[in-house]
Chains A and B, each alone.
Chain A
Amino acid sequence: MIMKLRKQIDQLKKPFAKGSKLERFAPAVNAFDTFLFVPNHTTKKGAHIRDAVDLKRTMVTVIIALIPALIYGIYNTGYQYFIQTGETFTFLDAFLHGSFKILPMIAVSYGVGLAIEFAFAVYRGHEVNEGYLVTGLLIPMIMPVDIPLWMVGLSVAFAVLIAKEAFGGTGMNILNPALTARAFAFFAYPTYMSGNKVWVSEASTVDGVSGETILGTLASGIPVDYTMFEMFSGAIPGSIAETSTLWVLVGAAILIFTGVGSWRIMLGGVLGAAGMGFLFNLWGANALMQFDWLNHMIVGGFAFGIVFMATDPVSAAQTQRGKWIYGVLVGILCILIRIFNPAYPEGVMLAILLMNVFAPTIDHYVVQANVSRRLKRKQSTNFQTA
């Protein structure tokens, strides 16, 4: 059965073989083939045996880690809608309502993003990299639920073209592509990305349905009336999949356990934000500053950002010491932006993007320490022999 399927695929791939007419399009076909089968490539140079891990497995692990938060996000979309309209509903109703909203966004994100990825792979003659599988799922997960689909598509196109391919493709980008997509939408269409009409499904069309995010409420000086458990479990308005700290933590556990996400960055971020939040609690000049440091961890996109965005290995710091510094600074900056710039209540996005830009600098200084250690060693031996 499997052999038969394999034979048929090989038959289908014949026109794309080297020297054939459609050779140029081979990367596009291979991308599908490698999803069915790990190819029969053998080692040519270097080590003759190889570890079972590959980039596809790494990326799929991230997707698995995202799924709990995504499922909760879909449910929460329906939940936020139905508690406002007052209809009675079951889990399934809420889930279906959410699916109806969110699955098209995911389809658009993957459709647009993968089309660009495939086009560049064919144009540049390299295989399609798996990185977009994660990016393409992340983008809808961090958008407000009522954002028009064409905006999702446009943000995706901007992110993939400008943030990734312009820098050379997967592995070369400076900024996290998913956050770039969100930042693009945030600055290009601010009315669709903030206020009290976007966070709850149908809020702009159905009267009486509205909802402001907690950070938005705080920024306008109104105290929040959600319990800590609601904030932690995620039964609050917000971007689709970032509301539930609980399910984000499940994802974090998967990432840390499999070693795919850096626990150094995550822990650094939490320490940085907690420390900063605690200092502001002591100061306590306004509602935002008085907002408990522990609550800062569980509202807004902080948890989601620190677990899934800050740990993107390409745009984060790459040295171990650098990861600590990077993580702590993301945490500190996130709270600083939240408190001092109420116009952009969602500080974590901007904090991570800013630190993405500084990550190479952090690494530079960490590596430079190693370089000067080597230089010093040379000088000391010269001194001894002289």
Chain B
Amino acid sequence: MSTDIKTRRGLTLNLKGAASNVFKAAPSSSKFAIKPTDFHGVFPKLVCKEGDKVKAGQPLFYSKYQDSIQFVSPVSGTLTAVKRGAKRKVLELSLTADEKQQSVKHKLPSLEKITSDEVKSLLLSSGNWPFIKQRPYDLVADPNAQPKAIFISAYATAPLAARLDVVLEGQQDAFQTGINMLAKLVPCVHLSIGAEEETLLAQTENCIIHRVKGPHPVGNVGVQIHHVDPINAGEVAWVVGAEDVANIGRFFQIGKFDASRTLAVAGHPVSTPCYFKTMIGAALLPLLKDVGVENTATLRVINGDVLSGTETSADSYVGYYNNTLSVLPEGNRYRMFGWLPFVGPKLHSMSNTSLSWLFPKRVYSPDTNLNGEERALVVTGEMERVFPMDIFPMQLLKACMANDIEKMEQLGIYEVAPEDFALIDYTSSSKIEAQAIIREALDLMYKEVG
């Protein structure tokens, strides 16, 4: 049986400002922060208070409803502030790093003889567990679940996204250790790599390698799961980010929580887009300054890719999961008669009502303008064009809007994550917010079905 994944439906956007394969050391900064909002559905219970000294790897908070899952500090330093929002929701834990870094050290058994229970308890106690997420529901994994497999996508297809084979350059050893440890937890580990990328990852052992080819969103791990071993009702699969596997691997090599992160800073307002070796929770402002981003007031900074990332501000911090930091100009402008067909050749459109199909090689510089207004769902067939799964996306979205749990289950809600609907957001002529609809529906399913 071939293990390759090939899709035809989808859309790869060529945007200006992709990161060049240059690594830079991040400018040093003592400001860090961890945002509990990065962990959807986690209700944080703080274990330290403002002014406390913490070591790197020391817990900052745990999940109220799954108290074995710890969230740890990326650096040693002082917890300077706890920023709260409405209903005292914890938004941000700010840290000032010490000059001299100290880490919590964990005692490791021999990696040859380590058991699955030992791996699991070490991941939980060291703060590495949040790297593992679960499908369905796209949440931090439940340690008590019995997953059928772990899926790792080392092939990113989203526009401007960091190339994961580049990110993992020089980290192959840690990556392999990470895979070895994760393989103890589940019957099977699946790793997908780009079919056309020359990468040492192809030599990774202890896992099934899938060569992936096709337009975005084929790099989304959800699409890959759907084509390899789809999730049925009642089943669970775990997913781990490619670099997160290396972080886990390094923990098992040295016994210390490793928060290092390779971050591509990309987007056409960035004058020298490149990769940084930085850390989870590091301040963004010094990074942005370093690549020549000035005047951030008219820009949008996104933790993640431009399709499925989270909007953040320039004085915010590196997110927990993302390898890409995207920068876009805000599109707060009017376009006279912009609704006429065949006008605005500089704007990309998948629809043939624009002329952009004539220039398949053109590189676009989009902004955040909605290019229209939200309307009722009228056009049919456009969602299917960018949704490479055996699922009816519009019917599923409608079931989600109607909160019809039974129908959502029948139509395959367990197989999708919000990011899989990012291109539907993008191409929709009714400007619907498909990702938000799916997120709410997944939350509802989690509450009702678990």
Q: Which residues of A contact B (CB under 8 A)?
A: 2, 6, 34-58, 60-61, 64, 127, 129-131, 169-172, 257-260, 262, 313-314, 316, 318-320, 323, 363, 367, 370-371, 373-375, 377-378, 381
Check if A54 sits within 8 Å of B339, measured CB to CB.
Answer: yes
Q: Does B359 contact A (CB under 8 A)?
A: no
Q: Check B373 against A314 for contact (C-beta < 8 Å).
A: no
How far is it, in angstroms, between the C-alpha of A262 and the C-alpha of B384 when the chains are bound? 13
Q: Does B300 have its Cβ within 8 Å of any Cβ on chain A?
A: yes
Chain B interface (Cβ within 8 Å of chain A)? 159, 230, 232-235, 300, 302, 306-309, 311, 326, 328, 330-341, 344, 347-354, 356, 366-381, 384, 390-392, 394-395, 410-412, 422-423, 425-431, 433-436
Q: A130-B375, A171-B376 are in contact. Are A374 and B412 (CB under 8 A)?
A: yes
B367 proximity list for chain A (CB < 8 A): 49
- A60 partner residues in chain B, CB cutoff 8 A: 339-341
In the assembled complex, the Cα of A316 lies from the Cα of B378 at a distance in Å of: 11
Q: Chain A residues with Cβ under 8 A from B334's Cβ? A: 6, 37-40
Give complex CA distance A14, B335 in Å: 20
Contact A42 B331 (CB under 8 A): yes
Contact A46 to B434, CB < 8 A, known contacts A51-B426, A53-B353, A258-B351: yes
A214 to chain B, nearest CB (A): 34
Most buried by B among A48, A131, A259, A370: A48
Q: Please name the residue on chain A nearest to B435 by beta carbon.
A: A46
Q: How far is the CA of A313 from the CA of B366 in the complex (A)?
A: 29
Which of A52, A64, A367 has its CB near the most chain B CB atoms (within 10 A)? A52
C-alpha spacing A41/B431, complex, angstroms: 11
**In the bound complex, do residue B336 and residue A36 qualify as a contact, i.e. CB atoms below 8 Å apart?**
yes
Contacts A51-B350, A51-B426 known; A46 to B433 CB distance under 8 Å? Answer: yes
Q: A38-B369, A127-B375, A367-B395 are in contact. List 15 more A-B contacts (CB 8 A).
A: A38-B338, A38-B339, A42-B332, A48-B309, A50-B372, A51-B351, A53-B372, A54-B375, A131-B376, A171-B430, A172-B376, A258-B341, A367-B392, A377-B232, A381-B232
28 contacts between A and B (CB under 8 A): A37-B337, A38-B338, A38-B372, A40-B332, A42-B331, A46-B425, A46-B435, A50-B426, A51-B427, A51-B428, A52-B338, A52-B351, A54-B372, A55-B372, A55-B379, A57-B341, A60-B339, A60-B340, A61-B341, A127-B373, A170-B375, A258-B341, A313-B380, A314-B378, A316-B380, A323-B381, A375-B410, A378-B234
Q: In the complex, A120 Cα to B348 Cα: how many Å?
A: 34
Number of residue pairs spanning A and B whose beta carbons lie under 8 angstroms apart: 214
**Which residues from chain B contact A52 at a C-beta distance below 8 Å?**
338, 344, 347-349, 351, 354, 356, 371
A170 — nearest CB in chain B belongs to which residue?
B376
In Å, the complex CA distance between A37 and B381 comes to 27
Closest 4 CB pairs of A and B: A54-B372, A171-B376, A38-B338, A47-B425
User: B339 touching A47 by the CB < 8 A rule?
Assistant: no
Partner of B352, one of A55, A259, A313: A259
B397 → A minimal CB distance (Å): 12
Q: Smallest Cβ distance from B330 to chain A, in angstroms?
A: 6
How far apart sit A2 and B334, CA to CA, in the bound complex (Å)?
10
Write out the residue numbers on chain A whose beta carbons fall within 8 Å of the beta carbon of B373. Answer: 34, 39, 41, 54, 127
Given contacts A42-B330, A54-B339, contact A49 B368 (CB under 8 A): yes
Task: Report the minimal beta-carbon distance from A319 to chain B, rounded to whole angstroms.
Answer: 7
A316: chain B residues at CB < 8 Å are 380
B374 to chain A: which residues have CB within 8 Å? 127
Taking a contact as CB atoms under 8 Å apart, the answer to whether A37 and B338 are in contact is: yes
Please determine whether B426 and A55 come into contact, CB atoms closer than 8 angstroms: no
CB distance from A272 to the nearest CB of B (A): 20
With A and B bound together, what is the CA distance between A48 and B371 in angstroms? 11
A49 touches B375 (CB 8 A): no
A49 pairs with B330, CB closer than 8 A: no
A129 lies within 8 A of B433 (CB)? no
CA of A313 to CA of B411 in the docked complex: distance in angstroms? 21
Inter-chain contact B307/A259, CB cutoff 8 Å: no
Residues of chain B contacted by A51 (CB below 8 angstroms): 348-351, 371, 426-429
Most buried by B among A43, A47, A313, A323: A47
Tell me if A170 and B370 are in contact (CB < 8 A): no
**Complex contacts, B378 vs chain A, CB 8 Å:** 55, 58, 129, 131, 170-171, 313-314
Contacts of A46 in B (CB 8 A): 422, 425, 433-436
| Contact status A377-B230, CB under 8 Å | yes
- Other-chain contact of A38, B234, B371, B376 (Cβ < 8 Å): B371
Chain A residues with CB below 8 A from B430, complex form = 55, 171
Question: Contacts A42-B330, A49-B307; is A370 near B351 (CB within 8 Å)?
Answer: no
Give the complex CA separation of A130 and B429 in angstroms. Answer: 12
- Contact yes or no, A257 B352, CB < 8 A: yes
Nearest residue, chain B, Cβ from A55? B375
Distance between B332 CB and nearest chain A CB, rounded to angstroms? 5
Q: Is the CB of A371 within 8 A of B411?
A: yes
**Nearest A residue (CB) for B337:** A36
Neighbour of B351 across the interface among A2, A53, A130, CB < 8 A: A53
Nearest-CB residue, chain B, relative to A56: B339
Is A45 touching B436 in the complex (CB atoms < 8 A)?
yes
CB neighbours (8 Å) of B429 from chain A are 51, 53-55, 57-58
Q: Smallest CB–CB gap between B388 and chain A, Å? A: 14
A131 — which chain B residues lie within 8 A by C-beta? 376, 378
Known: A56-B339, A258-B341, A258-B351. A50 touches B369 (CB 8 A): yes
Q: How far is the CA of A64 from the CA of B339 in the complex (A)?
A: 13
Contact A42 B370 (CB under 8 A): yes
Q: Which of B308, B374, B377, B379 has the most CB atoms of chain A within a 10 A radius of its CB?
A: B379
A373 cross-chain contacts in B, Cβ below 8 A:
390
Q: Is the CB of A374 within 8 A of B232?
A: yes
A170-B341 Cα distance, complex, nearest whole Å = 21
